[in-house]
Homo-oligomer: A and B are copies of this chain.
Amino acid sequence: MKYLEDIRVGETTELGAHTFAAEEIKSFATRFDPQPFHVDEAAAAHSHFGGLIASGWHTASVCIRLIVLARLREEEAMRARGEPVGRTGPSPGFRDLKWPKPVYAGDTITYATEVIETRPVASRPDKGLVFARNTGVNQSGELVFSFISALFVDRRPA
Protein backbone atom coordinates (compact mmCIF):
# COMPACT_ATOMS: atom_id res chain seq x y z
CA MET A 1 0.00 0.00 0.00
CA LYS A 2 1.13 3.56 -0.62
CA TYR A 3 1.95 5.66 2.43
CA LEU A 4 -0.70 8.01 3.80
CA GLU A 5 1.24 11.05 2.55
CA ASP A 6 1.20 9.71 -1.05
CA ILE A 7 -2.58 9.14 -1.23
CA ARG A 8 -4.58 12.05 -2.66
CA VAL A 9 -8.26 12.80 -2.08
CA GLY A 10 -10.02 12.47 -5.44
CA GLU A 11 -7.70 9.72 -6.69
CA THR A 12 -9.91 7.32 -8.64
CA THR A 13 -8.96 3.79 -9.68
CA GLU A 14 -10.88 1.79 -12.28
CA LEU A 15 -11.01 -1.70 -10.78
CA GLY A 16 -12.35 -3.67 -13.76
CA ALA A 17 -15.62 -5.25 -14.81
CA HIS A 18 -17.32 -8.53 -13.95
CA THR A 19 -20.20 -10.29 -15.71
CA PHE A 20 -22.53 -12.13 -13.34
CA ALA A 21 -23.40 -15.44 -15.01
CA ALA A 22 -26.50 -17.29 -13.76
CA GLU A 23 -24.45 -20.32 -12.66
CA GLU A 24 -22.08 -18.18 -10.60
CA ILE A 25 -25.01 -16.28 -9.01
CA LYS A 26 -26.65 -19.54 -7.97
CA SER A 27 -23.40 -21.08 -6.76
CA PHE A 28 -22.56 -18.12 -4.46
CA ALA A 29 -26.12 -17.83 -3.18
CA THR A 30 -26.50 -21.55 -2.52
CA ARG A 31 -23.57 -21.24 -0.17
CA PHE A 32 -24.21 -17.85 1.44
CA ASP A 33 -27.61 -16.33 0.62
CA PRO A 34 -30.09 -19.05 -0.37
CA GLN A 35 -33.11 -16.85 -1.03
CA PRO A 36 -35.35 -18.16 -3.83
CA PHE A 37 -34.68 -15.20 -6.19
CA HIS A 38 -30.90 -15.88 -5.94
CA VAL A 39 -30.91 -19.66 -6.45
CA ASP A 40 -33.90 -20.59 -8.64
CA GLU A 41 -34.76 -19.02 -12.02
CA ALA A 42 -38.43 -20.07 -11.89
CA ALA A 43 -38.96 -18.70 -8.37
CA ALA A 44 -37.06 -15.54 -9.37
CA ALA A 45 -39.32 -15.04 -12.41
CA HIS A 46 -42.33 -15.02 -10.05
CA SER A 47 -40.70 -12.71 -7.50
CA HIS A 48 -40.99 -8.91 -7.58
CA PHE A 49 -37.57 -8.87 -9.30
CA GLY A 50 -38.91 -10.79 -12.32
CA GLY A 51 -35.69 -12.73 -12.85
CA LEU A 52 -32.61 -14.21 -11.23
CA ILE A 53 -30.54 -11.60 -9.35
CA ALA A 54 -27.18 -11.79 -7.61
CA SER A 55 -26.93 -11.73 -3.82
CA GLY A 56 -25.88 -8.25 -2.71
CA TRP A 57 -23.06 -9.97 -0.84
CA HIS A 58 -21.88 -11.52 -4.08
CA THR A 59 -21.78 -8.06 -5.72
CA ALA A 60 -19.81 -6.86 -2.68
CA SER A 61 -17.40 -9.82 -2.62
CA VAL A 62 -16.48 -9.32 -6.28
CA CYS A 63 -15.77 -5.64 -5.51
CA ILE A 64 -13.45 -6.60 -2.62
CA ARG A 65 -11.63 -9.04 -4.87
CA LEU A 66 -11.02 -6.30 -7.44
CA ILE A 67 -9.92 -3.79 -4.76
CA VAL A 68 -7.41 -6.27 -3.31
CA LEU A 69 -6.07 -7.30 -6.73
CA ALA A 70 -5.60 -3.64 -7.70
CA ARG A 71 -3.68 -3.03 -4.46
CA LEU A 72 -1.48 -6.12 -4.98
CA ARG A 73 -0.73 -4.97 -8.58
CA GLU A 74 0.16 -1.50 -7.32
CA GLU A 75 2.49 -2.92 -4.65
CA GLU A 76 4.17 -5.12 -7.25
CA ALA A 77 4.75 -2.08 -9.48
CA MET A 78 6.16 -0.11 -6.52
CA ARG A 79 8.55 -2.94 -5.66
CA ALA A 80 9.59 -3.18 -9.33
CA ARG A 81 10.49 0.53 -9.17
CA GLY A 82 12.45 -0.07 -5.97
CA GLU A 83 10.02 1.97 -3.85
CA PRO A 84 9.25 1.04 -0.23
CA VAL A 85 5.78 -0.41 0.29
CA GLY A 86 3.75 0.49 3.39
CA ARG A 87 1.88 -2.20 5.27
CA THR A 88 -1.88 -2.32 4.90
CA GLY A 89 -3.55 -2.50 8.26
CA PRO A 90 -6.86 -4.12 9.03
CA SER A 91 -10.11 -2.45 8.07
CA PRO A 92 -12.00 -1.20 11.12
CA GLY A 93 -15.24 -1.61 9.13
CA PHE A 94 -17.22 0.46 6.68
CA ARG A 95 -20.43 2.38 6.33
CA ASP A 96 -23.36 3.16 4.09
CA LEU A 97 -23.42 0.05 1.96
CA LYS A 98 -26.19 0.42 -0.62
CA TRP A 99 -27.67 -1.75 -3.36
CA PRO A 100 -29.82 0.79 -5.23
CA LYS A 101 -30.63 -1.56 -8.17
CA PRO A 102 -30.64 -5.35 -8.56
CA VAL A 103 -27.87 -7.12 -10.51
CA TYR A 104 -29.53 -9.53 -12.97
CA ALA A 105 -27.97 -12.63 -14.49
CA GLY A 106 -25.90 -11.50 -17.47
CA ASP A 107 -25.32 -7.96 -16.16
CA THR A 108 -21.79 -6.60 -16.39
CA ILE A 109 -20.76 -4.45 -13.43
CA THR A 110 -17.84 -2.03 -13.69
CA TYR A 111 -16.24 -1.18 -10.35
CA ALA A 112 -14.23 1.86 -9.27
CA THR A 113 -12.82 3.30 -6.06
CA GLU A 114 -12.29 6.97 -5.16
CA VAL A 115 -10.37 8.31 -2.18
CA ILE A 116 -12.67 10.71 -0.29
CA GLU A 117 -10.70 11.42 2.91
CA THR A 118 -7.27 10.78 4.43
CA ARG A 119 -6.21 11.59 7.95
CA PRO A 120 -3.56 10.77 10.56
CA VAL A 121 -4.53 8.68 13.59
CA ALA A 122 -4.03 10.70 16.78
CA SER A 123 -3.30 7.68 18.98
CA ARG A 124 -0.90 6.02 16.49
CA PRO A 125 1.68 8.42 15.02
CA ASP A 126 2.83 5.74 12.52
CA LYS A 127 -0.68 5.16 11.11
CA GLY A 128 -3.27 6.92 9.01
CA LEU A 129 -6.83 6.23 7.89
CA VAL A 130 -7.99 6.29 4.28
CA PHE A 131 -11.69 6.49 3.39
CA ALA A 132 -12.82 5.54 -0.10
CA ARG A 133 -16.12 5.41 -1.95
CA ASN A 134 -16.37 2.14 -3.84
CA THR A 135 -18.97 1.78 -6.58
CA GLY A 136 -20.38 -0.67 -9.12
CA VAL A 137 -22.24 0.50 -12.26
CA ASN A 138 -24.12 -1.72 -14.70
CA GLN A 139 -23.97 -1.78 -18.52
CA SER A 140 -26.75 0.85 -18.63
CA GLY A 141 -24.75 3.25 -16.45
CA GLU A 142 -26.93 2.68 -13.35
CA LEU A 143 -25.32 2.59 -9.92
CA VAL A 144 -26.01 -0.87 -8.42
CA PHE A 145 -23.60 -0.90 -5.48
CA SER A 146 -21.69 1.49 -3.25
CA PHE A 147 -20.05 1.63 0.14
CA ILE A 148 -17.59 3.76 2.08
CA SER A 149 -14.57 1.79 3.24
CA ALA A 150 -12.01 2.67 5.89
CA LEU A 151 -8.48 1.28 5.97
CA PHE A 152 -5.47 1.76 8.23
CA VAL A 153 -2.26 2.52 6.31
CA ASP A 154 1.32 3.34 7.32
CA ARG A 155 2.62 6.90 7.44
CA ARG A 156 5.84 7.56 5.57
CA PRO A 157 8.84 6.92 7.85
CA ALA A 158 10.53 10.21 8.80
Interface of A toward B, CB cutoff 8 Å: 31-35, 48-49, 55-57, 60-62, 64-65, 68-69, 72, 87-99, 102
Task: Return A38 CB to nearest CB of chain B, in Å.
Answer: 9
Q: Is the interface of A mostly helix, strand, loop or mixed?
A: mixed
Q: A90, B97: Cβ atoms under 8 Å?
A: no
Q: B88, A97: Cβ atoms under 8 Å?
A: no
Q: B56, A32: Cβ atoms under 8 Å?
A: no
Task: Return A144 CB to nearest CB of chain B, in Å.
Answer: 12
A99–B62 CA distance with the chains assembled, in angstroms: 19
CB neighbours of A57 from chain B (8 A) = 57, 60-61, 64
Known: A33-B68, A60-B57. A96 touches B99 (CB 8 A): no
Task: Return A102 CB to nearest CB of chain B, in Å.
Answer: 7
Q: B99, A90: Cβ atoms under 8 Å?
A: yes
Q: A98, B90: Cβ atoms under 8 Å?
A: no
CB neighbours of A68 from chain B (8 A) = 33-35
Q: A92, B98: Cβ atoms under 8 Å?
A: yes
Known: A33-B65, A35-B68, A64-B57. A92 touches B99 (CB 8 A): yes
